[in-house]
Structure 1
Amino acid sequence: MDDAHEDVGRRVHRLRTARGLTQRDLAEPNYTAGYVSSVESGRRTPSGDALRHFAARLGVSEDELALGRPVDPAIELEFALVEAMATGTGFATVAQNAAAVGDPRRQAWALLASLNLRTDSPAGRLTDQADRLRRLDTAARLLAGEPLPDRIPLVLARADQATTEYAIHLLEKAREELSAGGHLDPDARYAVHSSLAARYLQAGADDRAAEAAGEALALAGPGDPVAVGAGHLAAARALLAARRVTDAAVALGQARSAYRRAALLPALAACFRARGRRLRTTGDLSSAAADLTRARQVYGDAEEALDVCVDLAEVHRRQGHHAAARALLLESLTDHPHPLADPAGAPPLYVVRAYRELGLVALDQGDEVEAETRLRDAVTLAARRNARHELARAVGALGDLLTARNRLSDAAEALKSGLLHLERILHAE
């Protein structure tokens, strides 16, 4: 019988007897002779762990034992790459093996994936800047001449190393090339649009961020990409064990796509945030709250989640949910409970925004004393941070409050002081 048409049990039996091993020899120390007998007779299908154990004892690869022949090197490399993406380890080995068999794309993808690890991954984020640049240069050389969708991981890695302005230039150029070339690859388009939304938000270009976010979210798949990737990877293993190599390759491609999207979760959060801000502006507060809540969830423990708390608090305040708004604002200040205590300190921008929002919440609830205190604090913090837009908003809100209380001289003094701060900031810029 041809090796490729044997079932696993018969193959185990043939290889075992050819090597002069008893069932007990093959089984120990992890299994029993009875288990080996049940596998060889076809009454049981060996688990993945058992298959690995038997392959090691018989001196063959796991794939050869499962399929009766070695797997195509491209499939083996794809498995190794996807498993590295799933675990955050093993990229160097994948790159070396890809180089050995002449697979420049997977070699480059392994190098680039190693640059995009989350800081909480098993391997951690690569911090040696010189090494990062070497890997980028090598990947660029390996991907030269490849179709643009295959080069998108390189574009993202370069943008990750660039200033916000230059990153936007790189991503906009990629977007234009994808459009001009008629590339419909949804993963490439999603990666570019979601990354652009994140960068536009950093640049304060909220309208452009919302447009890019809309494009990206239309391409975003359902569910957690990590879970989706794990599901496709498990399916690929099962398909390969059943000798359905073509179907296994498709499942691996889907797994790789999902894990690449998992690396873009911060960009996905930025998309929800950008769209939520746009919806807030148009007055669709319920939809805005839903998007901002989703952004906060996707950001997880990242500092950006605290910034989103302030966005969401503003929506809740405008909906009249003052208790919820106040709770979110206090949560955003967890890491900076006393920002005014350091006269030279420049807190994050979301802290300034949180103080202004706390003032507006107090004002809506009729506590004008607390509202004035919070708004004056927001002015002070905005001036320290040279945040001219937030300074203008805080000064405007404070001036309106004082004017409404008929404290016209205090309002004029607040506006005068604010203008002096703005003049200083503009002069410094």
Structure 2
Amino acid sequence: MPEEPAQQQDTEHVGRRVLRLRTERGLTQRQVAEPAYTPAYISTLEAGRVRPSDAALRHIAERLGVTYEELATGRPAHLATDLRLRLTEAQRALATGAASEAALCYQELSAEAERHGLDAERAAAELGLGECALESGELTLARAHFDTADALLTEAGAPLPQRAPVIRARAVAHYLSGSLRYACYLLETALDELNTSGLHDPDALVLLYTASIAPYMDMGAHARAAQAAELALSLAPHVGDPALVAQMHRSVARTLLAEGKVAQADASLAKAAELYQQLQIRTELAHCHWMRGYVHAQAGRLDDAESELRTARDMLSAKRAALYTQQVEVELADVLRRLGRAEEAERMLRALLGVIGPERGAVHAAGAHRMLGLIAQESGGTERAEEHYVTALSLLERAGAAGDLADLCRLLGDLYRRAGRIEAALDTYRTGLGHRAAPGTTTLGPAPARPPL
């Protein structure tokens, strides 16, 4: 039977490689063929008219002084191993703050892996490029790289645990873009499949449960967030990656804080910070300072909060992690306002609103408008306060961030009530009550299946 087009093309490629390598080494067709084959067979093979058997390829590879894999695929010997080593170097560069250098490495690695048909290595490089884009706040570009990585792994038939880091990255990018419900959908779908299909990989499960905590909290699904934290903690003893354990402790701290367990939240962050310090992962260490600043602010320790948030901001700014730097500044502005430095806070927030918005940190953009509304209200600017509250409400509704909507409706309702606009106040209070009635249940389906613990 005639060969399929792809097989024919592969046969021609092998033939051309044999011809090129034989010519480079100054060998005749007879020297390559004997003693097992004839010169005529080598001639036919080089012309692309015969598909060689594995035995023939191994014989010819030995005569040409190359590996079987190099002759069969055209890939240099040990290429995949070399690429994986360079991927590790790029990951280290990203972790220690050299995002621009890491991005250049990942670009070269992706192109080289694509040239040689190494899908798994190319997917890892695309994942790295997406992480670099997240650092600089280029969320659309990040999503494109993550989607490419996921498509490569899916087409290659990679098992779900292997795809978990890419799924988590896609969810984070959508979460930061304000698509909270879709981020939860991606994570819950993967968790459900892992737990119902028997693929109980502890690293993959902890990675996905940890990533789901932030969108759950912002959506007001506190029970789901607490359950995800509980499951992640129970699986942690089986996880071999210390960076993943540190990431889990950082995320779990948020659920502890929501439950009023400030001391436990602080202890959890201390564990995470210690691990990140040992691993020299500066971005995540900066996130720990950020979260500790948030914990101090919630406990009323405003001077400590300012110190931690400024440390986080300086570390992230030094890494050119633009989006995360801006998000820290929103929370720093809130602390400054509460310390009585409203003018400084307002200047910071107005500068931020020029660079963050619906597609670039919607929840934090809403937070900036909420704080500008409070500052305006405290200085008697009722109309300006209303404008900022309404803008914040729109951003939170679009993102599905039910966790903050109820509080914002209370602020806006109180503003209307004091202005004598009773009907508008009642409508706003009802909206807030609707979001508080059953946090998370209006936008999320059934919780994913639990792992067997």
TM-score normalised over the length of structure 1: 0.49
Higher RCO, Cα 8 Å, sep 6+ = 2
TM-score normalised over the length of structure 2: 0.47
